[in-house]
Amino acid sequence: MSKRIPAHEGMLCHFIKHARPDLVKTIKRTQKIETIVVGLGRQGTRHAGLMQEFGTTVTAGIAPGRGGQRIHETIPVYDTVKECLEEHPNIAAASIWRHYTTARDATLEVIKAGVPLIILITEFIPLRDVRDILVAARKHKTRLFGGNTPGVIFPPEGIKIGMLPDVFYPEEMRPGEFGSKGVTIISRSGAILYHMSDGLASAGIAQNAVLGVGGDGAIGSTFRQLVPIAMDYENTDLVVVAGEIGGSQEELLAEDIKANPGQYPKPMVALITGAHAPEGKTMGHAGAIVAPGQEFGTFKSKKKALKAVGVPVVNSQYDLIKEVKAKIKRKRYFEIDRYYEKMRLKWEEPPKKPSWGTITTKVAPNSLVISGYKLEEIIDRSTLLETAHLLVKTELPAKKVLDGHHKRAVKAALMAAPPVTRFKGEDISQALAKSFLMDEELSQMPQAGKDGPVNKTIFALGRFARYLAHILGTEAALDKATVKEPFANVIYRAVTGEEKVDPKRSRMVEAMVVASVDHGVTPPSAQATIIGASVRPDYAMAVASGIGAITDVHGGAGAKAAVFFQTCVAKTEKEKLGLDKATEAVLKEYMNRGQRVQGMGHRVHTQDPRRDALWKMVEKNGLAGSCVAISKMVSDIFEQVRAMSLPINVDGVIGAIVADMGLRVDLAKALFVYGRVAGLSAHYFEEIASQSQMRRINFAEAVYKGKELREFPR
């Protein structure tokens, strides 16, 4: 991607400053100009994706009745503009794609919400509706483009709002680095824009902004209003006005130039189309019609008015390029071959490979990133409830929100357990899955609305503590929990049955849960949940499917790893061997029996990032013992014995910590399942919000589209 100019230095920010100067400070700080798309029919949805691909920050879509969904897998949808601005208060621009029968109400909603810039794509809006829109726009100081506009595009900024294609070329300081100078094009016609752009670019003339004012008879912003703002932008060298017959925009512009010459300090060239159009015949746009017998609106009248104030008028692309070159003294903004190469690559671009996106977790060798934050940092600094919120909402919760989550989770943990009996020899995953399916309290917890998914996830994590306590027989200790203590204590009570809680031990248990929350869309538990969610079952059914997929093969190695470490320690004590020698001996015994050492090896990581975070924390809390010591040396010993590199994974480290803390070994799997509930919840809600029902899922086609790597707040 080429290096764009800073957002606060561009023409779009310049326009926003005229309408809402308070937003400029935010834009300068964040380097983002946030936009919304109102109306998510076929065209609105399609162009939302194209705008995003171009580089526009499309923060949200607005579609009544579709709140909680996501388009293009990354753009959240809200029912109303008001709801959107409660979550995203810095929206600077909106494009409106509603049908002309509902465009009035949609536009008024955006205007009254205080969005400073509106691109009204809709055409043929009834004049009485346009009147209401224009009155409201003037009252609220909103800059309105359209109706019937193809939109606006700012090439050096990598931002477009509307349907203009990526065929405009900016100034290039050096290959791949844009500059902000150039020609600004303001046009009544979309089609003419493309021809002008190609002609200018073919002569090395850059466009710093291209603005479609709209082709309907009554529009929000005219040449007279826009040209002075464009000329006030320091990096505009010249303005091209592309007009057409009909209406009086060009004549009124000429009058204003004559009356206020100081507002027009830069050169201008006008291209007027329709020189040979017959009177009374509409030519393309609703406004492109000359009324019989009128002395304005004709090609002749427009040309006369503009030439009288010193603006050259042309009627062909050839003459336009000639005039512009003369005005800018033949300045060239980029190497012309660069433009031709760009267009060649666009034409020859191969079809995109099939893919689908997830915004939850990015998985790469030795790297795990959840919504932009490294998982090892999350383990060290975040609680389970904070992490669950991050998984579902892609941001960390504010303190007030987190306090609400805490109360909800503790309340859920203190409710009676569903009537589940664990059969003799039954895997703990199966018993926990049954608890999910039979929990009436969980099934009745609502999940609709913008906060419904995260609230249900938090409630489920509270209920999970009760399930564990019921299955393990620790409910008496859990019942002593209160909202005044950390949720880590609630987990610890359920896991251990201890009424007196050691903060370091409870924090360590919670850290192991957090370490297990998610590993992307490809693990069997995630796949089971996502496939289930694709047919829109109840939340508990889909999550229970994922829990049921956590077996000794996937996610269950921790318990067997704990037994291995305990065996090594026992051999050390019994035979008076060093830990390394005892571990080597036990490894050989396992190999002689053809028995696999669990908790070692990983399909993605050679150095599991969760491993080091847990080692660091267990040492910090003074809970590391012989089993943790063995976990740090076992990979090297294995390589000496078998001449194979098999690094220890998160299951193995959890098994070692569980063993050193003196906990039941089967809790290693229980803790893994506990954490994974948060991730499975996120995958369930992501699937139903962003993907079509009953889709064919190729998990190898999944692509991370979430937030880029960012620093975890301290």
The 10s digit of each residue's pLDDT in 40-71 is: 999 999 999 999 999 999 999 999 999 999 99
Closest C-alpha among 257, 262, 227, 220 to residue 241: 227
Return the H-helix or E-strand segment holding 610: helix 609-620
The 10s digit of each residue's pLDDT in 646-705 is: 899 999 999 999 999 999 999 999 999 999 999 999 999 999 999 999 999 999 999 999
CA 511 to chain centre: 27
For 483-515, give the secondary structure using H, E and C. CCCCHHHHHHHHHHCCCCCCHHHHHHHHHHHHH
User: How far is it, in rounded angstroms, from Cα 79 to Cα 67?
Assistant: 5
| Cβ atoms within 10 Å, residue 444 | 7
Burial code of 587-603, b = ≥16 C-beta within 10 A, e = fewer? beebeeeeeebbbbbbe
Show the domains of the chain with their CATH numbers.
Answer: 33-147 (3.40.50.720), 150-349 (3.40.50.261), 359-551+670-702 (1.10.580.10), 558-660 (1.10.230.10)
Residue 495, pLDDT > 90, answer: yes
Reported as a pLDDT band with limits 50, 70 and 90, residue 19 is: confident
User: How far is it, in rounded angstroms, from Cα 660 to Cα 654?
Assistant: 10
Residue 369, pLDDT > 70, answer: yes
Residue appearing with tokens 């709002």: 161
What whole-number percentage of the chain has pLDDT above 90?
A: 82
User: How far is it, in rounded angstroms, from Cα 348 to Cα 338?
Assistant: 15
User: How far is it, in rounded angstroms, from Cα 332 to Cα 203?
Assistant: 8
User: Which pair of tokens denotes residue 681?
Assistant: 């919840």
Report angle CA 583, 585, 586 to the nearest 5 degrees.
65
Closest C-alpha among 27, 14, 71 to residue 356: 71
pTM, 2 dp:
0.88
User: How far is it, in rounded angstroms, from Cα 95 to Cα 84?
Assistant: 14
* Mean pLDDT for the stretch of residues 370-393: 97
Residue 369 falls in which region: left (phi positive, over 0), alpha (psi -120 to 50) or beta: beta
What whole-number percentage of the chain has pLDDT above 70?
A: 96
Active site (catalytic) residues? 285
- The type of residue at 602 is H
The 10s digit of each residue's pLDDT in 306-325 is: 999 999 999 888 999 999 99
User: How far is it, in rounded angstroms, from Cα 671 to Cα 561?
Assistant: 14
Q: What is the pLDDT of residue 245?
A: 80
Would you state the torsion angle of the CA atoms of residues 88, 91, 95, 97, taken in this order, to the nearest 10 degrees?
30
Across all residues in the chain, what is the average pLDDT?
93
What is the number of residues in the chain? 714
Reported as a pLDDT band with limits 50, 70 and 90, residue 641 is: confident
* Mean pLDDT for the stretch of residues 155-169: 93
Residue 288, pLDDT > 60, answer: no
The 10s digit of each residue's pLDDT in 150-161 is: 999 999 999 999
HSE value, Cβ hemisphere, 13 Å, CA-based, for 191: 6
Torsions phi, psi for 551 (to 5 deg): -125, -170
Closest C-alpha among 128, 140, 25, 126 to residue 94: 140
The 10s digit of each residue's pLDDT in 117-127 is: 999 999 999 99
- The type of residue at 561 is A
The 10s digit of each residue's pLDDT in 221-278 is: 999 999 999 999 999 999 999 988 877 889 999 999 999 999 999 999 999 986 655 5
User: How far is it, in rounded angstroms, from Cα 390 to Cα 425?
Assistant: 36
CB 146 within 8 A of CB 129: no
CA 205 to chain centre: 35
User: How far is it, in rounded angstroms, from Cα 435 to Cα 246?
Assistant: 72
HSE value, Cβ hemisphere, 13 Å, CA-based, for 149: 27
Residue 517, pLDDT > 80, answer: yes
Closest C-alpha among 319, 240, 252, 242 to residue 273: 242
What Cα–Cα distance (Å) separates residue 651 from each residue in 429, 431, 465, 468, 667? Answer: 15, 20, 20, 19, 11
Reported as a pLDDT band with limits 50, 70 and 90, residue 101 is: very high
Reported as a pLDDT band with limits 50, 70 and 90, residue 502 is: very high
User: Which pair of tokens denotes residue 104?
Assistant: 């009035």
What Cα–Cα distance (Å) separates residue 428 from each residue in 354, 417, 424, 433, 455? Answer: 38, 16, 11, 9, 25
Reported as a pLDDT band with limits 50, 70 and 90, residue 148 is: very high
* Mean pLDDT for the stretch of residues 21-45: 96
- The type of residue at 399 is K
User: Which pair of tokens denotes residue 394?
Assistant: 């892609």
| Cβ atoms within 10 Å, residue 192 | 19
Terminal Cα-to-Cα distance of the chain (whole angstroms): 31
CA 84 to chain centre: 14
Query: Before 497, cis peptide (omega within 30)?
Result: no
User: How far is it, in rounded angstroms, from Cα 325 to Cα 171?
Assistant: 15
3-state DSSP percent of the chain in helix, strand and coil, to 5: 50, 15, 35
Burial code of 396-435, b = ≥16 C-beta within 10 A, e = fewer? bbeeebbebbbebbbebbbeebbebebeeeebbbbbbbbb
Point out which residues pair with 369 in neighbouring strands.
362, 374
Q: Which residue has the higher pLDDT, 67 or 293?
A: 67
Closest C-alpha among 226, 251, 227, 267 to residue 308: 251
Q: What is the pLDDT of residue 681?
A: 98
CB 419 within 8 A of CB 438: yes
User: How far is it, in rounded angstroms, from Cα 509 to Cα 496?
Assistant: 10
